Chains A and B, each alone.
Chain A
Amino acid sequence: MSEYQFSEKYRDQLLRCSSCGFCRASCPVFNLTQRPALNARGKMLVLQEVFEGNLPLDEELHETLFQCTTCANCSTHCPSGVEVPTIIKEARRDLAQAGACHPTFIGMDQVLDKYSNIYGEDEPEDFERERNQEAENVFFIGCVGQYRDEEPTEATLDLLDHLEVDFTLIDEVCCSGVLEDVGLSLKEPLAQTNIERILATGAKRLITACPYCMRTFQNHPAYAPLKEAGVEVVHISQFLKDQDFGVTTDLKVTYHDPCDLGRHCGIYEEPRETIKKVAPNLLELAANREAANCCGAGGGVRGAFAANSIAMARRRLEEVEASGADILLTECNSCVHNLGNAKLRSQKFQIFTTPQFIHALVEGDLD
């Protein structure tokens, strides 16, 4: 029997997988590839074999162990209550410990030793705003919104200005929580930098654009000083729920639940309440809330298996097409980024984050 951490910590859960295969209905990687080895059951069977000493934990297993978006659709519906993403993340950690981490993430780890963001960019977009001011709220953009999908960020900042929210940006650095998903460890110095800069503003609330950043700030011990200082961490979708926008539209909109906000945090209704304030014609996608299909970007899959990641997004967009909506809204820059890349020219709906959409309505850009 192996002495890896995944089996040390989660032995009972791992073995409790009765291999019923019900996760075939929910695993986005399986549904795309129809390859049982990539399904949650396949992953648990592989790890059971490692546990039993019948299979070495090495690079041969990357294709399945690193091809999990950690969307948690399987564990949410697992009759045996197996927390598949948690076990997978621990197994990735064991792989890394054994010097067999996926090369994509060894690269990411090195980038974060040198740079303040996962893309290794030198110059952050300044969004023409002062930073590190004293304010009631800090708005934390995250790497995707800062370096890859600037438009939603620009629009969100403009909306916060329009709503006269007292907020500031900071010279933020990557929260580095994503490393924890791929077998590596959050960078304490980066966390320290963020904490110092957030606390220096005197803000009592930290609003994040990225649900993953929110989870990191709320749950990772390295960010405990935020909680100790009484800083409340919320996602922008929660913050906007209590705002009045003074605009409405008849456009038909639909909403994609980001896994990090929905299944991982249980936030399903707040984004919908906000959307319904401005767009009463909210259509639900065939798979929504706890059953929502993943956009394919999470868990490092976009980095390590880009083609399949995009193909998963494409499948999600087929649901959007079937809904007949004019607009697809979501609350995660990473989802927006992946879905945007996957959208076909023939698909006529537009994709926005909710704040970006509301800002466009306020500006009269969508009539």
Chain B
Amino acid sequence: MITQNVKDALKEIVGEENYSDHVIDLVAFATDASEHKQRPDCAVWVTSTEQVKAIIKLANQERFPVVPRGAGTSLAGLAVPAEGGLVMDLGRMNKIIKISLDDRLVVVQPGVVYADLDKKLAPDGFFFPPDPASGMVATLGGNVATNAGGIRGAKYGTTRDYVLGLEVVLPNGEVLRAGGQNIKSSSGYDLARIFVGSEGTLGVITEIILKINPKPTETATAMATFPTLADAGRAVTQIMRSGILPSVLEVMDRLAIKAINENTDLGLPEVEAVLLAETDGFTAEEASFQIQKIIDLFKANNASSVEMATDPAEAAALWAARKSVYSVLTRLNNTVVVEDLAVPLSKVADTLKIIEEVGEKYGLQMPTVGHVGDGNLHPGVAFDRYDEKQRETAHAAAAELLGRVAGMGGTLTGEHGIGLAKAPHMHLEHDPVSMETMRSLKKLFDPHNILNPGKMALEA
């Protein structure tokens, strides 16, 4: 519980208008895009590093939890104030401080929305490649804290690959400036990247330096259907070792296709798997040379149909099914949990099989889509959260799935993070030595455990 004295001190720091303990704010800050919920005691909207510093100092002194928050789009409960305390909304720190094409970087405040940066960079032909599906609202601070990915991971990597430097308010109230504006550096420990994917447990990010890329002007798209999962899996493996690096390589499994057909008028062929590939380049020839190679490999692996698009309208038609998946999933029942497994590329087909097996065992349909170019699969489980049995079954199935995937060398999460959803399963992937190292690191930075407590199994 945060005392009235502390609440008054918080108001003093941010101003009355940037503080709230009104019930509507507590409800709105209780959750994110996950199924987890816990109301905080109060919330602040910060507008400067100085304010963050003062609040963190106070929290460290008074020992109350602080949960930094961006747009609250986490699918794993990263932004849920699991132990109450204070939610610190960084959405109003949303200035793009600098765009330097000469240095090929941007400096931004954490509350800048991905899409707003993209809009600013587009006229100059640049982009920040890791684009999560929530990019129209997700903030860059949240993307860094989650190590967010997106559909272009295979070719362009994830947020981690672009973070050059950070300003972070540490739990003791000191301001750390890690990294800088150099594209390369091997100077000391890479402190900036310790905070990438740290889920707000080590410090509050208040400024970000990101590398940006020139944006390819041309794309080509192809879609293929496969009679068996094995054929699609083999096609993926062969594409990834062919020397061609697709900018996008997506899969939809049989149940995803079935769900799309039952809920839209897209009328997809009822096959075992669909692959959707996009290649990019700076000339049409470059993009189409690459897509042709991919099409050859689709055909060599028994694709039952192949369609290709070279103009945006045709490409949009091929994308329609993939883009409809989230909408379709959310309409199946009142709750959908999207898993986020990632496996070595050669194990994609095996993993799709495992998902189907687990689904059958628990009597659940788990439609799956994923970014197979980087081995990242998103099985979705839709259920009625007010039905205890359904909820337990969905969670039991997810636990078994995570265990089997971790057992084959996969990871619990490719791009969503651990948060609350995966915290109970951390041990499946990380051995005691890893867990102890993570816990030691947490203690080093945050000895009083004030920052986003309850996440990542750091306290167990």
Which residues does A use to contact B, with CB under 8 Å? 12, 15-16, 18-22, 24-25, 34-39, 41-42, 45-46, 49, 55, 60-61, 63-64, 79-81
Contacts and interface: CB of A to CB of B under 8 A. Distances in A.
B46 to A, nearest CB: 12
Interface in B3-33: 20, 22-25, 27-33
B383 to A, nearest CB: 12
A274 B113 CA distance: 37
B334 A79 contact: no
A3 B22 CA distance: 24
8 nearest CB pairs, A to B: A15-B334, A37-B28, A42-B28, A80-B330, A37-B24, A24-B137, A36-B28, A79-B327
Nearest to A67: B24
A35 B73 contact: no
A64 to B, nearest CB: 5
Contact of B23 (A21, A25, A60, A81): A60
Given A25-B136, A37-B22, A81-B327, 9 more contacts: A20-B33, A21-B32, A37-B24, A37-B25, A37-B27, A41-B28, A42-B28, A46-B27, A79-B327
Given A37-B25, A45-B27, A16 B334 contact: yes
Contact of B29 (A36, A63, A79): A36
B45 interface: yes
B32 A19 contact: yes
14 contacts: A15-B385, A18-B33, A18-B330, A19-B32, A20-B134, A22-B137, A36-B91, A37-B20, A37-B22, A42-B28, A45-B30, A46-B24, A61-B23, A63-B22
A37 B43 CA distance: 11
| Chain A interface, >50% SS class | helix
Interface of B: 20, 22-25, 27-33, 45, 71-73, 89, 91-92, 94, 115, 134, 136-137, 326-327, 330-331, 334-336, 385
A79 B30 contact: no
B71 A24 contact: yes
A42 B23 CA distance: 11
B327 A25 contact: no
B33 A21 contact: yes
Nearest to A18: B330
Contact of A42 (B24, B115, B134, B385): B24
Given A36-B89, A80-B327, A25 B27 contact: no
A21 B22 contact: no
Contacts of A46: 24, 27-28
A116 B195 CA distance: 63
Contacts of B27: 37, 42, 45-46, 49, 55
Contacts of A24: 71, 137
A34 B45 CA distance: 9
- Chain A CB count within 10 A is highest, among B28, B134, B335, for B28
Given A16-B330, A18-B33, A21-B134, A36 B72 contact: yes
B23 A55 contact: yes
A84 to B, nearest CB: 14
Nearest to A77: B136
A18 B32 contact: no
A95 to B, nearest CB: 14
A238 to B, nearest CB: 29
B388 to A, nearest CB: 14
B137 A64 contact: no
A60 B29 CA distance: 17
Contacts of B31: 19, 45
Contact of B72 (A21, A79, A81): A21
B119 to A, nearest CB: 9
A61 B24 CA distance: 7
